[in-house]
């Protein structure tokens, strides 16, 4: 879906600012990252969790694909917590 236009929700922009994650980093994650979870029943569009890296820093992006309008909507962005995720940041640790 990399040909889709990126649309940043206000929440995502706020979190990017708080977490010092740039639009370029998000773009790279969406284009080259690995989808590690899908949420096909999310509304109004199916979404997915994408893992990407900025050097050694892991970044998770939650994106929803609006196929009719050829948009990828960035819902939120964060650096996963090593205490909550496995060593590869692909699966949540059991509680």
Q: Given a cut of 60, is residue 2 above it in pLDDT? A: no
Rounded Cα–Cα distance for residues 64 and 75 (Å): 7
CATH of the domain at 48: 3.30.2310
Q: Given a cut of 90, is residue 94 above it in pLDDT? A: no
Rounded Cα–Cα distance for residues 87 and 24 (Å): 25
Residue 63 binned pLDDT confidence (cut-offs 50, 70, 90):
very high
Please give the structure tokens belonging to residue 87. Answer: 């060593």
Q: How many domains is the chain partitioned into structurally?
A: 1
Higher-confidence residue of 4 and 47: namely 47
Domain with 27, as residue range(s), is 5-78
> Does a structural domain hold residue 66?
yes
Please give the structure tokens belonging to residue 2. Answer: 């990399």
């Amino acid at each position: 879906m990399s040909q889709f236009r990126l649309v940043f929700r206000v929440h995502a922009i706020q979190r990017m600012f708080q977490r010092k994650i740039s639009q370029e980093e998000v773009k790279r994650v969406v284009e080259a990252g690995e989808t590690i979870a899908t949420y096909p029943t999310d509304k109004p569009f199916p979404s997915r969790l994408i893992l990407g890296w900025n050097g050694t820093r892991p970044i998770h992006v939650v994106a929803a694909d609006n196929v009719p309008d050829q948009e990828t909507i960035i819902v939120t962005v964060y650096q996963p917590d090593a205490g909550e995720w496995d060593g590869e940041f692909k699966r949540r640790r059991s509680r």
